[in-house]
Amino acid sequence: MKATPVGGVFAVEPMPVTEVVREASSQAWRIMYRSDGVHGTPIAVTGYLVVPRGARPEGGWPIIAWGHGTTGVGPDCALSRQPELGGYDSIIARFLRDGYAVVATDYAGLGLPGQLHNFLQKYTLARSMIDSVLAARNVSSEVGRQWFAAGHSEDGLPALGAGEIATRRAPQLQFQGVVPVAIGGGSSPAWIDAMLIARSESCPRCHHR
């Protein structure tokens, strides 16, 4: 895995999505790509990429790297496994209709069997977000270099982290800014304990808004 650059793609497959996303997109994929974990160790991360309908603009579609709110810690909590995208499908469709491609990381530790989500690890999750944009450009030639980081709840925090390290991490891209919403900035010990207990469960659709 070390030989693969960050954002290098390991796997791509068509992804089922809801009608509202299908109507606004030309293609949707589930992707697996290289990023770096908590200690800088190379890891595989999953996510999804959707591209708008219509003729791409000169330079390619600008891209929003979208981060979802807390869903849980088990593999089934990855939103790339859910056609309704954890209830964010209408938001994603709006981005597409406004002329943005959307790439969304599942976060490090979600989406793959036997792993535990690195909850609120700001820079680990920020790297997953930045590297998802690099992966998107490796998957689709329609995706441009201009990108924004946007995140809700838990991923409002790594979206801010992405803003701090984006130009260092991926200088070949053109970072435009951050849109954090309802930032999740910390957790009580009881909440952390509850999440750790849940690691043995599949926790499908255990969304926290």
3-state SS, residue 73: coil
Bridge partners for 63 per DSSP: 101, 147
pLDDT the model gives residue 162: 79
Whether 63 and 136 have beta carbons less than 8 Å apart is answered as: yes
Torsion of the alpha carbons at 176, 168, 64 and 206, rounded to the nearest 10: -140
Structure tokens at 119: 């909850």
- The residue with tokens 């992707």 is 31
Structure tokens at 91: 């938001």
For the chain, how big is the Rg over CA atoms in Å? 16
Structure tokens at 47: 């996510």
Please list the pLDDT of the chain residue by residue as tens digits (209 residues).
Answer: 677 888 999 999 999 999 999 999 999 999 999 998 777 788 889 999 999 999 999 999 999 999 866 665 556 667 888 898 888 899 999 999 999 999 999 887 765 655 655 666 667 888 889 999 999 999 999 999 999 888 765 565 667 777 778 899 899 999 988 776 655 554 444 433 443 343 334 344 444 33
Q: What are the two backbone dihedrals, phi and then psi, of residue 51, each rounded to the nearest 5 degrees?
A: -120, 140
Structure tokens at 197: 């207990």
Nearest to 25 by CA among 79, 98, 104, 82: 98
- pTM here is 0.78
Domains of the chain and CATH, by start = 9-200 (3.40.50.1820)
